[in-house]
Amino acid sequence: MVKKRQLGNTDLYVSEIALGCMNLGTNVTQASHVIHTALDQGINYLDTADLYDFGQNEKIVGQAIKGKRDQLIIATKGGNHFEPGKDGWYWDPSKAYLKEAIKNSLLRLGLDDLDLYQLHGGTIEDPTDEVIEAFEELKQEGLIRYYGISSIRPNVINRFVERSDMVSVMMQYSLLDRRPEEELLDHLNDHNIGVVVRGALGKGMLTNKGQSQWQKKGQDGFLDYDADQLKSVVTSLQDLANEAHLSPQSLAIGYVLNHPAVSSLALGASRPEQVLDNVRAYEAAQLSEDLIKKLKQITKANVYKQHRQ
């Protein structure tokens, strides 16, 4: 079963792997089966967003969790402005829109309140104080318990650390994307802000299907890896996994969970079998210090090059 960790300084204890709901699809029966499989495995944390299938994802999650609300921690995201019947969306972090968006999300989810509401992105040009004011008012109104942001931009994250009472940051972090290690993870941990990780399996390249996923998704490289370097790293990680009698997935999950700032990994699934695969890999992911050291030697200590000012 899946263990739990405290999310930042909150009273929320989230499963160390969460179900990232983005890839559930729009088949209600299939998506519900995925969600129920996750719950049966001890996953208590579901992460969705209003933008996923333009609200349909939240509706599906809401239907699947009826009668189970008290067992779960539900997170969604807002800030991408879309309207029913119209194509596309645009970024709108205004106070007025965020306060409208959360009410629409709650209606779709069938909930009276939300455990965690996250800004779905963010730029340094945003009216940050207005965003924070919106979040604080939503807390006072009892519509949300806590708030955070979903961002990989150091300048945005640091601004919220300085000015807000956010409890979490959702960010990309994996063996192939170690950028958060250099400056963000310790900083957030020092401020009791929990990290929710996305992308821990590196577009599938950090799984048993690493080579085929590299063929599909690695031909243009990944961050500061060119295609050949990426293939070499994927191969080396598979070799190390074989040597350690673990799956590459276990190495990837165990490595990211090793940092104390990390509260949970949001792992996506479109089929129940993928949930079970993720849980099996997680349960085996007990990595020694020596193994962690070898993983660091194989991969690059990437750094953030953009969003500095």
Burial class (CB in 10 A: 0-12, 13-18, 19+), 160: buried
Calculate mean pLDDT across residues 206-212: 93
pLDDT higher than 80, residue 85: no
Could you read off the pLDDT of 225-250 as tens digits, one per residue?
999 999 999 999 999 999 999 999 99
- pLDDT value at residue 86: 73
- pLDDT value at residue 297: 97
Torsion over CA of 179, 202, 22 and 132, rounded to 10 degrees? 0
- Domain coverage including residue 187: 4-204+249-286
Calculate mean pLDDT across residues 273-278: 97
- pLDDT value at residue 54: 80
Torsion over CA of 70, 72, 77 and 81, rounded to 10 degrees? -60
Q: Within a domain: residue 240?
A: no
Specify the CATH number for the domain of residue 11: 3.20.20.100
Q: Within a domain: residue 241?
A: no
* Separation of alpha carbons 126 and 250, rounded Å: 38
Q: Within a domain: residue 139?
A: yes
Distance of CA 227 to the CA centre of its chain: 25
* Separation of alpha carbons 229 and 199, rounded Å: 19
Calculate mean pLDDT across residues 75-86: 84
* Separation of alpha carbons 217 and 219, rounded Å: 6
Could you read off the pLDDT of 120-134 as tens digits, one per residue?
999 999 999 999 999
- pLDDT value at residue 58: 94
Q: Within a domain: residue 28?
A: yes
- pLDDT value at residue 83: 78
Q: Within a domain: residue 39?
A: yes
Q: Within a domain: residue 103?
A: yes
Q: Within a domain: residue 244?
A: no
Q: Within a domain: residue 77?
A: yes
- pLDDT value at residue 88: 81
Domain count, the chain: 1
The catalytic site residues sit at: 52
In which band, very low, low, confident or very high, does the pLDDT at 156 lie, cut at 50, 70 and 90?
very high
Calculate mean pLDDT across residues 69-81: 92
